[in-house]
Structure 1
Amino acid sequence: MQTIAENILDVTLLEPRQKHPTIFARFDHLREGESLTIHNDHDPKPLYYQLLGERGNIFSWEYLEQGPEWWKVRISKNITGAGEETLGQIAAKDLRKAEVFKKYGLDFCCGGKKSVKEACADKGLDVTKIEYELQQVDKNPGARPLPYDDWSLDFLADYIVNTHHSYVKKTLPDLRAYAAKVAQVHGEMNPELLVIYQLVEKICAVLPAHLEEEENALFPFIKALATEKHAAANPGTLGHPVTVMETEHEMTGKALEEIRTLSNNYTLPDSACATYSLLYRMLEEFEGDLHLHVHLENNILFPKALALEKQ
């Protein structure tokens, strides 16, 4: 609903002790879906956290202007039952927003079932800043990513296999070999490389069988379900294998997150050789590909297949 004149409040005209009580009173009188726009001469960020603490997660906060003279914020009362979107749902609708999540280290694939507020609270991040950047993506008319969320499930499953599974199969052997070599040559001076090698081995022990299970069992089942070639005689068949796949996704994601931490965001020491540099470059690329890979499965393919199975 568009904010009308009666729903604009110039906070600068109020005495300091009246500001927050007045805003709260005006917010409380809003009907669901209505908005209040406040004008202030400084960032009202403390109001956001007070409103969240005293009223709960029942509102959305949108900066319309951010200084240097005026700060204008639209505060909207959420509609009951609408539910707040998770990181995974947001990324599924517009993958450009995943870049914002990556920038702040917010896990939109394995940890994609959290809301922006929950994820920011877990990491101690400024949620107003991140929500503002997400809103700016909506206002950017730039080219949009591939419409994964619009694809049929059988097409999406084939795309994942042909693009991401193929990449993993091609890359893992080299990644394993380089991790071993670099740990052997540089591990004494850089002991974190020994742990990184162990983590790469852990990933290599899980992913090949994981891909095989998806390609030979889970994905064919989903494709048959999507093309109406499977009669769901046993409702709930998908639940267990999907849970197993998501658990293995989470394990792999945590291993790569630990590698990023150990390597200080893939920062090379002065003593790094060409193989050392190549290893870090490959690990960072592998992590980026896996984020998209897992996102397509956890946030799009699996939820849609589970919903289809229930029909």
Structure 2
Amino acid sequence: MVNYRYLGNSGFKVSEITYGNWITHASQVENDAAIATVHKALDLGITSFDTADVYANTAAEVVLGEALKHQRRESLEIFTKVYWPVGPTPHGPNDTGLSRKHILDGINGSLRRLGVDYVDLYQAHRYDHETPLEETMQAFADIVRQGKALYIGVSEWTAEQLREGHALAKELRFQLVSNQPQYSALWRVIEGEVVPTSEELGISQIVWSPMAQGVLSGKYLPGQPVPAGSRATDEKSGAGFIKRLLEDDVLEAVQKLRPIAAEAGLTMPQLAIAWVLQNPNVAAALVGASRPEQLEDSVKASGVTLDADVLAAIDAALAPVAVTDPAETARTSPKARVA
């Protein structure tokens, strides 16, 4: 079964393996298969589920809501997000960002699609440079007071943005408990600034892409074509996103992890997930699946402790190709709203 961790400086616990439906529900897999995978997650002890209004342009929330419809609400932790444009195109001027209007429209739409009265965690999917932060945080405070969200989080915010947001949340008397960044043994940009600041402020990380879009599974081999049917061949599954990880030097380094995983008694995916969970500031690793059986492997990373020599061997193998520059958080975040 899956272990639990506290989210930030709160009494709220989440399953350290959290199910995310970014590129699967209503996109990569049919609805029946998606629902079966959610039910498998529940059978394996996963009770935390992460989605966003933008995933499949709101359809992923509908599928997740359908999958969880007959479950005891109090036994679930449901997360969603707001920022990116949703709805029919062309999008209107207020269909994106973190304005009060878009946030309030966003939470009402998400609750309707998910079929719930509240979400446990509502997250700013990116930082909005076009809206005063005071406006954004006041809207989140109002949502908490209305009972539509219990906790507030963010995604891909810099250390400075987290500090400013935390100060406003404290002033407005609600809890900013989490940040959702990309984090893996190949993408370590949060370690230099975001993690130390978060530890100081009582904010946890819920990390996405712990397997680096599947590259850390070891299935992509240097000098070889990508496997048929893999994520790298499917534009709906993030093929564009994964391309930067398919350089031969990266893939050669990843293959050095194979004997390390074997010695630790883990599969390559389990090693990748267990690695991010060794960071005490990480509350949960987001995993997705297109088939129920994929989750059986992932959940075995819960509760694993990697010895110091294993961590050192991973560092040595990946150090030449791992990205560590803290500036990448700001560099990969939009400087203006996306229409």
Give the TM-score taking structure 1 as reference length.
0.25
Give the TM-score taking structure 2 as reference length.
0.23
- Greater RCO (CA < 8 Å, at least 6 residues apart): 2
Structure holding more strand per residue: 2
